[in-house]
Amino acid sequence: MGIFENSTVKLEQDDFGTFKDPQTGVSQTIRRFTWKNGNGVSIQVINYGVTITAINLPDKNGKVDDITLGYDSLEGYLQPNNRYFGATVGRVANRIGNSTFTLNGNVYQLAANNGPNSLHGGLRGFNKVVWDYYVKGTKVVFSYASSDGEEGYPGNVVTNVTFQLSDENELVIDYKASTTKPTLVNLTNHSYFNLAGNGSGANGLLEHVVTINADRYTETDGGIPTGKLIPVANTVFDLQIPRKLKDVINNVPNALGFDNNFCVYKGTRQSLGFVSRVEHPQSGRVLETYSDQPGVQFYTGNAIPEHTGKGGNKYGKHSAFCLETQIWPDAIHHDNFPNVVLNPGDQYRHVCVYKFLVKA
């Protein structure tokens, strides 16, 4: 994956509105980056929240649709009902139980923005800040320096996220982070996909066929892991074999659909592995996900509020799905979970590849 020599991929830039920082009052022009390859695929990312604003992909008949939820302007991404559409989330993705953790004997209090829990980095996570950037060929490297104590987390953390599109229709996202104090880091992208087109709603989503390469999932109570790993065999969570969403989504216990961490493997590894495959048979579009992370949060948009998105399309419950590759949620509170602590001198690294295919 990721062979970019002699690539036909083109990269363009333009402006995407002005952001006035509510804390400093300083205004900044937001930049949008557009990658295009020779297969009719184009991807757009803005440096506000390092947010994917569009992924345009042809279907088996050559019809191009935008397959991600989002907005036509920056203002959409600033509104309260934006559910992290397309954003890079951190310092810690997913939930931390009771919005507190203890590290090396020190207790850290976080913002409670998901009931009693902290979600996706807190009130002003990485999705709500303007990132610096530099362009290297057809790569864009976004960087953000999170200060010691920001959102309650210890340590100055410098994060770089690199985006690149290949001729093989691979969107490669490469995350790196370092810290000055022991802290927690768990980054991911929160794109909402609908391979039928971002305006097709639940009717389009329910026709998707999903496969996830995991034989266990983390049991939760109120959205927070209990520490138990439950085998998926003989349950609705067994997506090791392809399942059409409309056949299983209403069978998830005590939920409106899937919002679960699937355990791709336990521990750490250095190489990419197969995470999932989602196919929309009617359009022929396919999304394969590869990652070096131990888990993936599969979410079927159960809480998307009814509102208008880009192109005047109506969004709501089950309008899209997310595949958030990451360390298992609330890992700091469970000794049997993969490590989420980053120490000075070490580097956090996470590579995710979304590969787009068209099946005739």
Catalytic center residues: 190, 324
Of the CA atoms within 13 Å of residue 296, those in its CB half-sphere come to 31
Euclidean distance between CA atoms 37 and 46, whole angstroms:
18
Contact yes or no for 225/334 (Cβ under 8 A): yes
Tokens representing residue 319 in the block: 């309008």
Euclidean distance between CA atoms 222 and 216, whole angstroms:
19
Give the pairing type, strands 348-358 and 170-179.
antiparallel
Annotated binding-site residue? 190: yes
Of 125, 130, 54, nearest in space to 85 by CA: 54
Contact yes or no for 136/324 (Cβ under 8 A): no
Of 210, 167, 154, nearest in space to 35 by CA: 167
Euclidean distance between CA atoms 151 and 180, whole angstroms:
16
Annotated binding-site residue? 95: yes
CA 190 to chain centre: 3
Show the 3-state SS of 154-181.
CCCEEEEEEEEECCCCEEEEEEEEEECC
Tokens representing residue 329 in the block: 């949620």
Annotated binding-site residue? 208: no
Of 249, 316, 328, 244, nearest in space to 281 by CA: 244
Annotated binding site: 94-95, 190-192, 259
Annotated binding site for beta-D-galactose: 94-95, 190-192, 259
